[in-house]
Structure 1
Amino acid sequence: TQVTCRNSLKNPLWSLIEIPIISSVTCQTVTGLIFFQNDFCARILLLELKWCVLCLLLNEAELQQRSPPSMISLAGGSPNPNTFPFLSASIQVKNGRTVTFDEATMKRALQYSASNGIPELVTWMKNLQKNLHNPPTASYSPEKGQMDMCVTTGSQEGLCKVFEMLVNPGDNVLLDAPTYSGTLTALRPLGCNLINVPSDQHGMIPAALKKVLSRWDPSEVHKPDSTAPKILYTIPNGGNPTGASMTAERKKEVYELARLYDMLIIEDDPYYFLQFEKVQRWLTSSVSVPFPWAPTFLSMDVDGRIIRTDSFSKILSSGLRIGFVTGPKPLVDRVVLHIQASTMHTSSFTQLMVSQLLHSWGQEGFLQHIDRVIEFYRKQRDAMLSSADKWLKDVAEWHSPSAGMFLWMKLRGVADTQQLIVEKALEKEVLLVPGGVFMINSSDPCPYVRAAFSLSTPEQIDEAFKRLSLLIKDAL
């Protein structure tokens, strides 16, 4: 495939790549324009273009939605909904509302849908993102890197698609140390080099990031043979496993380093809606509400270098498997192409169910629900901290998480928690996660353990920490 690049006159930060795109509907080769950040086309995506046959998968469902009622479609392979055994559904919501699917809605819920998401759900979420983050890119033109969004089957699918899109074998990828084990699992098969950036209770340490990056010359990162990192991955709020949250000041410093070295930041924020400290912010020009949410990387993104993943798993349902990828439209379009070639789309049924619920709530009702969820997890956190003070203060150390679901503890006098947690703790019927699984080199000794306060009752948490205390004392 012949790939050519040319600079966009509308924004020097972006380039156009012209490639032949094969339409699966017309079976004709047409010229497609895909926008990449200037020089990123060489550093990030061109290797992928060598093996990825780009196909404009205009699926039949999307075409049908844009077509007039008089359109007769013989193109798609969608099954006839009249053969489906399901007629209707009614789902009771806790606040007394009901999500109802009549026969027509049920046919739509059980049929193929657009790969980027049900339109009304995407629109609702875009409006929420704009109100919460006020991203500078929301007002940009598409060729400049306008903010866009797509629905994914949980944020984990979004992360995997982003990694597959951006990471080539041999690339250097920067990430929090320690970090989410699912991210390590997703990145390792891609053949990249994982580089730790130290963190503390306030998240990634900018000085440590600067030190890691100092081995590269920022003026040479665009050279074809440069090994400078293209991607920085971080969980900025309630990090898994540490519970750490990055301060606004640190985010600004990290973003400026990303600009200096021309990196993309993957802002993985599944615990964004589980921040326990509230600050007063404006939802609209006339409505002030107490928002618990700190400024995000997306809110300060003037270049279009942030790809953000959000999740409904922690606040609506983990089984619904609904997440979102937000970022520059050219890159979101690429994520959608990956979805089209794999899962095709997130469940139409769950998307429509969530969309109906959100529209019935409105943003105010949604935020009220979030407040209730936050209050539940705040009480759970406080119960775990109380039990930790009661049973573990002589044998462990920790900081109070300001977001998320986890308490990250360093056990005193225990060089490696693997055997203690995997073998002895199980014998005493208490289950935690040894810290090594969150490290790049999981075989290195690690004195940390992760405890989740999301599911167990305060009484169960107290008993678990009592058992853990006895185990630690026996091991010393």
Structure 2
Amino acid sequence: MSGIDYSYFINTRSARRRPALTREITKRQYGGHKDHISLAEGVPNEITFPFESITVNLKDGQTFAIKGQELAAALQYIPSQGYPPLLKQVKEFTRRLHRPPAWDKCDTIITNGSQDGMSRVLEMILDDNDTMLVQNPYYAGTAAIVKPLNVNVIGIDQDESGIQPRKLVEALENCKKYTEEGGGKMPKVMYLNPTASNPSGTTMPTDRKIEIYRICCEYNIIILEDDAYYFLHFLDRQPDSFLSIDTEGRVIRLDSMSKVLSSGLRLGWLTGPRKLVEQIEIHISSSILHSSVLSQVIMENLFRKWGINGLVSYFEKVAAFYRVRRDFTIASMEKHLKGLCEWDVPSGGMFVWFKVLGVSDVYDMLLTRGLRKHITFIPGQNYMADPTAACNYVRASYSKASMKQIDKAMRILAELIREEHLLLRRKLDGLEENLIIRHT
């Protein structure tokens, strides 16, 4: 791990960041000597806050109250790395679940969900005209982050096991040739969503991860492992993570509680090489100071109430809930879309990714004629490395709509596709008729 030059993965803009003295003082004050007197920090006095206590009632009948010193901490500024009691719990949670080979060289920071962490990482690594690798299709939120960064995005095609190693090597060798000719730079980072991928629903098996990891070591690439659906898989065992096989220190892992506890809490964490985590901490300290403390205190109470095993058990129940909805959605598609579309059964997550047969581009069909029929699906262009190319894929979410609504939407979609086939047939007939008239 010590052999990696991490300065290569910190761009010029990020390297210019410096820790703020006030943030450093806040970090030192936490856990400092109880008799220490500080007149340094410009923090409000908790006496002026109007909150006496906050009570949280859980669906399992348990309850906890946030009050006294804990409430004061929940409503006050904290170190940018996170609420220390939660940070301790999260580190132990990560260590026990993933057993990272180089854990002593890693660090963790609390983020406002995985999107926040992803944004910090990509803004740290990427410069103008840099190249990054993504799985194709890939999460649209990542595209939103990189678009203003002015970078070249290379999509690596997937199969049922995730990105294909052969395609990855081909892309890297092409980049290498182009770079040697003076035309660009080698990719420094690859974005992967390996468990129940959004939008494809694919989960990458361990042997494929090992192969991908080996290639990234060979070409000196950081793996950005965005695993927001890590606990929403429908497999017999918990997948191994890239972090769990990271012997060199080239994985930055993003975890999120948005899909399994609450999206509104905006709570996640980032784990990776200490040098890079420290750089991200400086960025956070100069922007939002730290993630929401109240959310962190609520999460820390859940750790104490349920423990690691209790949390994992709860996540398994959430996954079981979505598995039933997945099964119903697939059955509905079999009933209404068989012969019109093709799909693989997702191994987890909240989405079905499917191809519409006989239609080369679904964009107008869905977002013009589909909306008129009061159904909404996302066209596949939104998730492709090249969003300008025609695409016949669709993403459907089964997470929130009722079973009755899902079935109705699939039935109407089938009608829409048949109408699209008819429109295309009429256009083709019209073109053929014009050709005949011109030649007679």
Query: Partner of 2:360: helix, strand, or coil?
Result: coil
- Among candidates 93, 96, 100, match of residue 131 of structure 1: 96
- Among candidates 316, 330, 349, match of residue 261 of structure 2: 316
In the other structure, the counterpart of 1:30 is none
- Among candidates 151, 155, 174, match of residue 196 of structure 1: 155
In the other structure, the counterpart of 1:426 is 371
Give the 5 Å matches for 1:180-329.
180-217=139-176, 227-279=185-237, 293-329=238-274
**Stretch of structure 1 that moved more, 94-103 or 344-353:** 94-103
Q: Which amino acid aligns with 1:463?
A: K
The CA deviation at 1:148 is 1.1
- Among candidates 62, 72, 75, match of residue 97 of structure 1: 62
The CA deviation at 1:215 is 2.1
1:109 aligns with 2:74: yes
1:396 aligns with 2:355: no
1:164 aligns with 2:98: no
Equivalent-residue separation in structure 2 for 1:247 and 1:425 (angstroms): 36
Give the 5 Å matches for 1:319-468.
319-468=264-413
In the other structure, the counterpart of 2:18 is 54
The CA deviation at 1:47 is 2.3
Equivalent-residue separation in structure 2 for 1:59 and 1:459 (angstroms): 54
- Among candidates 14, 27, 40, match of residue 75 of structure 1: 40
% identical equivalent positions: 36
In the other structure, the counterpart of 2:429 is none
Structure in which a larger fraction of residues adopt helix:
2
Query: Partner of 1:465: helix, strand, or coil?
Result: helix
Contact 2:134 2:385 (8 Å CA) reproduced: no
- Among candidates 113, 137, 140, match of residue 154 of structure 1: 113
Q: Which amino acid aligns with 2:386?
A: N
The CA deviation at 1:99 is 2.2
Query: Partner of 2:287: helix, strand, or coil?
Result: coil
The CA deviation at 1:331 is 0.7
CA RMSD of aligned residues (A): 1.8
**Stretch of structure 1 that moved more, 440-449 or 252-261:** 440-449
Contact 1:421 1:434 (8 Å CA) reproduced: yes
Q: Which amino acid aligns with 2:55?
A: S
The CA deviation at 1:439 is 1.7
Query: Partner of 2:59: helix, strand, or coil?
Result: coil
1:174 aligns with 2:133: yes
Contact 2:356 2:392 (8 Å CA) reproduced: yes
Equivalent-residue separation in structure 2 for 1:149 and 1:55 (angstroms): 17
Number of residues of Structure 1 aligned to a counterpart in Structure 2: 419
- The structure whose RCO (Cα within 8 Å, separation 6+) is larger is 2
Equivalent-residue separation in structure 2 for 1:105 and 1:231 (angstroms): 39
The CA deviation at 1:226 is 6.9
Deviations along 1:188-228, one digit per CA (max 9) or x if unpaired, are 1112111111112321111110111112559x99x999711
Structure in which a larger fraction of residues adopt strand:
1
- Specify every segment of 5 or more residues in structure 2 that has no aligned partner in the other structure, as ranges: 422-440
Query: Partner of 2:353: helix, strand, or coil?
Result: strand
Misfit runs of 4+, over 4 Å: 223-226
